[in-house]
Structure 1
């Protein structure tokens, strides 16, 4: 029923929800009362009557209930944001600093302090942080262990355990996922209209999130999307991963300003391979690529046109990410909110 309220274009009444769900009005009324008491929805006064009959009060998600804490750690910055149940960003903090010399423990401790500031500010604003999700540029297991993040120099890092050392985060549910996956999910929620697309996150490293029919494709072990290590020039520059000619050695954030035409060419070669293999109709460029989109577009599209077998039949749509550089932390926060929406009963048990 919470999804019915969340996805409604207008504020539905209790009677409208009963009609839409097939539940009895008595059952809907009891559930609505529970959701209001749990701080998940609010009931608004009816609009002025324009016809016969008594106008009904409308239901909407509350902006003063549970919220998601989105965290991101990348090579050259730390970030935190708080998003309420309606999807509005209530807090946003970004600190730019090179994380490579710091090491995992120091970087996560600094991120913990940033997260604590965001959480305390959100609670002062009347919100209750339901959980946190961390976006990292690396391979992550289901339990939140960062197996390897080559551009950070991390290996087998228990990120939730490190964050729980921050007193303000102790006991808070914390999940971890690849930053491109979370960015793709964030883009899916705000952009709409594209149920299948490839999201490419341009940072110092390059990751991708693949959305298929509205769902994130993770691969068998959850490690899909490492497009930064697709070979574009087999005899090219050595990469941190040990191979040669990887995409991120030509189109990573640090290289964009030095040779934009080469970066666009390399991106086009890699993206054409993905399109030929998976037949994705839309490619979304995010992260550091979003502000460079207009300068990269022609070069990428030239390679797509030349290399994609079906380019003449169905050209690929290339666009910039709606959320820009905030996509990963926004997607992280949204994953927490989505969990509350998917299982409001679990939240009500916790809140009670």
Structure 2
């Protein structure tokens, strides 16, 4: 019995190694190349490749030049063989994204919808997701799972949403959020943690970084060696609620002077009756009142960034809705953060999220891609 189990485990290991070798290859490969690189026999490689071809996970895509015999056939990944969905729930909108196993975006949609912690709200989001998948003509049998990100503290062990100030939720069961999606594997993740993971995935570097999400709520995540650090109680990275102004502006968390109270995107949009794109258009056109508002915002933001940099001493990635408007502001932000820290003269540690407002959706969908690659 033990020998049989060992053989089964070996077969599974070979299957995984072969698939991941093709996945990680920058160009199509031949079975001879796979056998040589992994030190496996050609029959073992051939048998596994036949299974993958039958399952639609790999495909023949051409031939290489002949070295005297038949031309070797090349094999590549079928990127869209599986996909996952990420849903970002916010207080005033829902974002949806579908990604394939390369983390390439298959489709994106933003829906303006006021949040309500009621069954019909989640049922409507689930209905919108089904319509979204229909428009993309995606086969549900290939769906790995649905990830939902929320702007709040998620206790995965207790399966509770501990606190989400922008949604006005405290200590609710995650099943309230997931029941409408129960036809598929589903999980809930903090939005900033998901965003940070997406950033780490793209760079494929096992590095330390802090992710700061600048939306209507301000959240954060810490990744150590490319892996999320959630803290002892699952509350790490709540940078939006560090105090930057003692007894300052009231925050939705119930305290005063939080970074979120000064750096919510609402300060640049809702409070002024503007959309973010309108605010930055007016800023670039030289509107003095808008410039003064931005200067105040920027000063608060760099105060918070300097605290984070001094405490964590690693790269900081700015993401969320605001990231889409910061490319021409980045150098000034870097200079001002360096002026407020003790050791820094080069601000290259401060970067912008490449996914911007899509990052939370992509990050939470990536969980299922990673699980598929590791466990299939």
Tell me the equivalent position of 2:363: 331
- Answer 1 or 2: which has greater helix percent: 2
Tell me the equivalent position of 2:100: 84
Instruction: Note the C-alpha offset of 1:29.
Output: 2.2
Q: 2:349 aligns with which of 309, 317, 329?
A: 317
Q: 2:47 aligns with which of 8, 30, 40?
A: 30
Instruction: Note the C-alpha offset of 1:196.
Output: 2.8
Question: Is the contact between residue 200 and residue 209 of structure 1 (CA under 8 Å) also seen in structure 2?
Answer: yes
Structure-2 separation of matches of 1:334 and 1:128: 15
The answer to whether residue 214 in structure 2 is matched with residue 202 in structure 1 is yes
SS of the equivalent of 2:246 reads: coil
Structure-2 separation of matches of 1:294 and 1:63: 31
Q: 1:161 to 1:55 in 2, by over 3 A?
A: farther
SS of the equivalent of 2:147 reads: strand
Tell me the equivalent position of 1:349: none
Q: 1:297 to 1:58 in 2, by over 3 A?
A: same
TM-score by length of 1: 0.86
SS of the equivalent of 2:79 reads: coil
Mapping of residues 178-327 of structure 1, within 5 Å? 178-192=190-204, 195-257=207-269, 259-280=293-314, 282-294=315-327, 296-298=329-331, 300-312=333-345, 315-327=347-359
Structure-1 separation of matches of 2:140 and 2:250: 51
Question: Is the contact between residue 200 and residue 283 of structure 1 (CA under 8 Å) also seen in structure 2?
Answer: yes
Tell me the equivalent position of 1:129: 143
Structure-2 separation of matches of 1:54 and 1:119: 43
Tell me the equivalent position of 2:58: 41
What is the number of residues matched between the two proteins? 336
Question: Is the contact between residue 228 and residue 247 of structure 1 (CA under 8 Å) also seen in structure 2?
Answer: yes
SS of the equivalent of 1:151 reads: helix
Instruction: Note the C-alpha offset of 1:123.
Output: 5.0
Structure-1 separation of matches of 2:136 and 2:329: 38
SS of the equivalent of 1:209 reads: strand
TM-score by length of 2: 0.81
Query: Over aligned residue pairs, what C-alpha RMSD do you find?
Result: 2.4
Structure-2 separation of matches of 1:72 and 1:322: 17
Question: Is the contact between residue 205 and residue 226 of structure 2 (CA under 8 Å) also seen in structure 1?
Answer: no
Structure-2 separation of matches of 1:124 and 1:337: 16
Tell me the equivalent position of 1:13: 30
SS of the equivalent of 1:276 reads: helix
Question: Is the contact between residue 96 and residue 109 of structure 2 (CA under 8 Å) also seen in structure 1?
Answer: yes
Q: 1:32 to 1:160 in 2, by over 3 A?
A: farther
Question: Is the contact between residue 309 and residue 316 of structure 2 (CA under 8 Å) also seen in structure 1?
Answer: no
Tell me the equivalent position of 1:155: 170
Q: Which runs of 5+ in 2 are unaligned?
A: 1-16, 273-292
Instruction: Note the C-alpha offset of 1:260.
Output: 1.7
Cα deviation 1:280-321 (Å, max 9, x = unaligned): 0x2221112212214643553244212222113x54422221
